[in-house]
Amino acid sequence: MKMPEPDAAVMARQVEIAAALGTIVPDGVIADVDGVSPYGSDGLVMYRQSPLAVVLPRTTEQVSRVLAWCHANGVKVVARGSGTSLSGGALPLADGIVLGMARFNRILRVDYDNRCAVVQPGVTNLAVSQAIAHKGFYYAPDPSSQIACSIGGNVAENAGGVHCLKYGTTSPNLLGVELVLIDGTVLRLGGPGQEQAGYDLLGLVCGSEGLLGVVTEATVRILPKPATQRALLLGFPSVADASDCVAAIIAAGIIPAGLEMMDAPAIRAAEDFVQAGYPTDVAALMIAEADGSAAEVDDQLARITQIAKAHNCTHLRASTDEAQRLLFWAGRKAAFPAVGRIASDYYCVDGTIPRRQLGAVLGEISAIVARHGLGVANVFHAGDGNLHPLVMYDASVPGQTAAAEAAGAAILKACVDAGGVLTGEHGVGVEKRDLMEHQFSAIDLAVQSRLKCAFDAHGLLNPGKLFPTLSRCAEMNAMHVHGGRLPFPELPRF
């Protein structure tokens, strides 16, 4: 992975930079080799790079002053939440600082009347739900990493979870942010209301992977916990039967709270790991969850059962109590570490396809990994067509890391070729950056990357991520000066 050429002049100023930032955040700057090392990579462990320094601010004012200083001094900044990104979004730059948001760890306000919570970005996803559980509320987006990942990271990645078919990813559950721009400007976008005036800048910031600003506060929507939650465990003799069943459930007008699927290798790995009682003689396993009032849940599960039987379902169990429901989920939620037990390393790929292409794309995934001499286990957010092939490899065998990366790239291209997209929830980061041209035209990419100029004209916030090349903003400002006399058609500025 090629990162932008580090600026030697900036690197030479490391001591001075750390000292200057230390005056803004006393006892919050780490600049020694051992100290910065834990920040050298995120959940995409294939890549590692130590930053110039790590700065750990506590207040919005400190964030604003740090960013303004970096802006004035041409120093790049990578914001970091909990470092669980699977796309290298939080990978440091050799000539930049890491702005660690872990000290922003407070829940500031819970407003039950308006159903929102105002939280600092370093609060973990699960902590939000835990803090409001006593009032019968929860925060709906539930990424599998929820015990560790931060709300700031969730906002930056527009993170999803197993319940987002019904409840949405982070963006529909985000009502407002406080955002600090690279020049130190502090903005408020949205708030406890359900609509903001003007452009949907909040929607643009959500999922912008730390390229547009640093989130220092988030207002999230909270919901009353469902009165009833029950799950079905459904086994099928083929992936085709299972995916036809998913389509039939949705076509019947049912939006389950969760609709997850695993293939045979993933089922076996999960069952060996957590003994969830999964049948190991089926080719595909589905977990369908219904939530709501008891009447709605009973009705939905009865209809799903009927549909599943019509699609050759060979194994069917309904959870009878909460412990059993959680057990059904335990295997799915532990699928990643379970695969981690049977392979020395695994690489989690994340693409979305139109669901009807599932069978074809799965066939292609098998062919791709076989071509690279590797194995694969598949888990899917089946309801919304989001695939997570876990490509198994051994980093200690020369060439296998590269093979896994190549297989991942080929799988994502296959997703795009099937009418899908490169990433459903993990983000582009550095991982999929160079594949963006496979999905978007040069113009599409130019329009997107140009937006960065409105927020960060010098490209100091998380450069080298998301876009293969950034637009040169000065050039565009110059064009703007000429007003209505632009040279058309404009060539994309790469």
Site membership for ligand FAD, residue 352 (CB under 6 A):
no
Interface with ligand FAD includes 149 (CB under 6 A)? yes
Cβ-based nearer residue to ligand FAD, 145 or 300: 145
| Binding flag, residue 172, another protein (CB under 8 A) | yes
Q: Is 450 in the site for another protein (CB under 8 A)?
A: yes
User: Taking CB positions, which residue lies at the least distance from ligand FAD?
Assistant: 153
CA distance 2 to 412: 19
Q: Please pick, from the candidates 339, 374, 436, 461, the single residue that binds another protein as defined by CB under 8 A.
A: 436
Is residue 123 near ligand FAD by the rule CB under 6 A?
no
| Beta carbon nearer to ligand FAD, 49 or 154 | 154
**445 touching another protein, by CB under 8 A:** yes
* Number of separate helices (H) and strands (E) present in the chain: 18, 19
Q: How far is CA 167 from CA 161, 226, 381, 387, in A?
A: 9, 12, 13, 19
Q: Which CB, 20 or 416, lies closer to another protein?
A: 416
Chain-centroid distance of CA 149 in Å reads 10
Identify which of residues 102 and 257 has a Cβ nearer to another protein in the complex: 257
Residue number, 307 or 377, with CB nearest to another protein? 307
Among 17, 25, 64, 89, binds ligand FAD (CB under 6 A): 89
Q: Which one, 199 or 323, has the nearer CB to another protein?
A: 199
Q: Report if residue 85 touches ligand FAD, rule: CB under 6 A.
A: yes
Whose Cβ is closer to another protein: residue 26's or residue 198's? Answer: 198
| Residue from 159, 329, 342 nearest 258 by CA | 329
The count of other CB atoms within 10 Å of the CB of residue 79 is: 27
266-269's contacts with Cβ under 8 Å and 24+ in sequence apart are 266/335, 266/338, 266/339, 266/377, 266/378, 266/379, 266/390, 267/331, 269/335, 269/338, 269/339, 269/341, 269/342, 269/377
Q: Exactly one of 6, 28, 203, 468 binds another protein (CB under 8 A); which one?
A: 203
Smallest distance, Å, CB 219 to another protein? 10
Q: How far apart are CA 230 and CA 297, in angstroms?
A: 7
Q: Helices 264-274 and 335-342, interaxial angle, to 10°?
A: 90
Kindly indicate which of the ranges 8-16, 143-151, 252-260, 282-290 contains the residues binding ligand FAD, using the contact rule CB under 6 A. Answer: 143-151
What gap in Å lies between CA 470 and CA 404, rounded to an integer?
Answer: 27
Among the residue ranges 18-26, 111-119, 316-324, 339-347, the one whose residues contact another protein (CB under 8 A): 111-119
Shortest distance, CB of residue 247 to another protein, whole angstroms?
A: 4
* Tally of CB atoms within 10 A around 32: 10
Is the separation of the CB atoms in 411 and 389 below 8 Å? yes
CB of 419 to another protein, least distance (A): 6
Binding partner selected for residue 378 from ligand FAD, another protein, none, CB under the kind-specific 5 to 8 Å limit: none
d(CA 90, CA 240): 37
- What residues between 372 and 391 interact with another protein by CB under 8 A? 381, 383-386
Question: Binding of another protein at residue 4 (CB under 8 A)?
Answer: no
66 burial level (CB within 10 Å; 0-12, 13-18, 19+): buried
State which amino acid sits at residue 230: R
Round to whole Å and give the CA distance between 97 and 77.
5
The SS3 call for residue 120 is coil
Contact (Cβ atoms closer than 8 angstroms) between residue 119 and residue 151: yes
Q: Is 43 in the site for ligand FAD (CB under 6 A)?
A: yes
Site for ligand FAD in 367-386 (CB under 6 A): none
Q: Rule CB under 8 A: is residue 197 a binding residue for another protein? A: yes
Output the smallest distance, CB 177 to ligand FAD, in A.
Answer: 9
Size of the site for another protein (CB under 8 A): 99
Check residue 425 for interaction with ligand FAD (CB under 6 A): yes
Q: Which is nearer to another protein, 120 or 219 (CB)?
A: 219
CB-based contacts of 91, cutoff 8 Å, min separation 6: 41, 42, 44, 47, 48, 49, 78, 429, 430, 465
| Near another protein in 321-360, by CB under 8 A | 352-356
Report the C-alpha gap between 392 and 373 in whole angstroms.
Answer: 10
Least separation in angstroms between residue 79's CB and ligand FAD is 4
Which residues bind to ligand FAD, rule: CB under 6 A?
42-43, 78-86, 89-90, 101, 121, 143-145, 149-150, 152-154, 156-157, 159-161, 209-210, 214-215, 336, 425-426, 462
